[in-house]
Structure 1
């Protein structure tokens, strides 16, 4: 992690320093913390929402993009490590599901308290990381990346119609795609905490296949839930997504409760 960037890497929409536990969120390719901020309105009162900001965006705009997958993982590890003093759930969407999986494994190697639960959303399993046909490549043209972001709701009409904002969005997506393309799963890496999979009914890959692939990496218990919608689910589902996996503190504290 870049020197002096640790504090900026964690954004708390509604700080709750006395909360019993923390929901830590890792974003998708080309994303930041903004899509997750609305969850501060729906998490239980005993939960603090902590959003990890990758380099090169938002409060870390002046920090260079991660040069490769290991750099991004290690940056996220340092941010999450600072939150591990309380019980926490680690959530990642799309590319963030791989980041969350690898961060949990790396924290275990470092002897840092693991998450109570690992929630992977909208992502294929790391050892089945073949590039999907519906995902663009870092080598694609600016026009192709803009078209993809608009189709998948990652670029508003306001941004699309403002050249400088559009350029920044394309630059960010291209950088994250390059990092994602450099990811290589290391054989033997496992999820040793309870793992919960969320996946859309209209997402690109068949749910039974994605479910079985993730289950094969889960040593600490496993659950899978198919949710309405595509890669980002239906709007109301995304807005209330934490309700789908955050239970009471007593329930969350039971290790290995999934099956």
Structure 2
């Protein structure tokens, strides 16, 4: 079971205890996602890595909480919970929206003078200074919003086809897309943190060309690797992704 590791860090961070771990991997989910994407990663990465995943408000065991609709309301309490998990060297991993959150969390960590991560993995997300190229969907009527999710992929058809279930999930989904659509990068000095960028070979939302600009966000090393698949390769290619992450760690 992918449960709560430390009550001090709950409700933000969940994962299996890893007493022999040498480092921690903090994972940030894509829009509409949660810790389930990273459920197998501890097994794939081995006992030397403790895998903790974020559960945002409005998701999973936090379903009754109000979802965050802008980045600051998500980022600040998330950073407040970090000292509860920073007991060993760590790396941040984020996919899509999670990559933006991971990057901005690095900047917030630097502002607060907390221990910096040993690395940042950004997956399936265009460089932060690029303008959002896609239509705004967070405020669409329910049927149009559902169709937009269907076009994007990543949400099972069995879920999309159930209006009652979608009505329960929609507030958190809309909130995540509102964060994506409202995000604007503010120029700050680059990080002194190695960055690994992962781009899906069939991902038209974050191609390798759109991700190359992440190199400008660090004064340390940068590498860009292709991964077979579309925007949700992080789910379909868990073995390939964790191999790249393991080599980076």
TM-score, shorter chain, exceeding 0.5: yes
Q: Label 1:80 to 1:132 Cα distance change in 2 as closer, same or farther (>3 A).
A: farther
Distance 1:170 1:206 in 2: 24
> Which blocks of at least 5 consecutive residues in structure 1 are unaligned?
253-259
Please tell me whether the aligned partners of residues 81 and 107 of structure 1 are also in contact (alpha carbons under 8 angstroms): no
Distance 2:195 2:39 in 1: 23
Q: Label 1:60 to 1:235 Cα distance change in 2 as closer, same or farther (>3 A).
A: closer
Distance 1:236 1:179 in 2: 25
User: What is aligned with 2:11?
Assistant: 8
Shift of 1:239: 4.5
Distance 2:94 2:206 in 1: 20
Distance 1:42 1:136 in 2: 36
Shift of 1:126: 1.1
Shift of 1:40: 2.5
Please tell me whether the aligned partners of residues 23 and 88 of structure 1 are also in contact (alpha carbons under 8 angstroms): yes
Residue 181 (1) aligns with residue 184 (2): no
Distance 2:125 2:189 in 1: 17
Please tell me whether the aligned partners of residues 200 and 231 of structure 2 are also in contact (alpha carbons under 8 angstroms): yes
TM-score for the superposition, normalised by structure 2: 0.88
The SS at the match of 1:143 is: helix
Which of 109, 112, 115 does residue 111 from structure 2 map onto? 109
TM-score for the superposition, normalised by structure 1: 0.85
The SS at the match of 2:45 is: coil
Which of 36, 39, 42 does residue 37 from structure 1 map onto? 39
Deviation track 1:179-212 (CA, whole Å, cap 9, x = no partner) reads 2222221112422210000001111157453243
Q: Label 1:60 to 1:189 Cα distance change in 2 as closer, same or farther (>3 A).
A: farther
- Runs of 4 or more, structure 1, over 4 Å off, are none
Distance 1:26 1:238 in 2: 15
Question: How many residues are matched?
Answer: 243
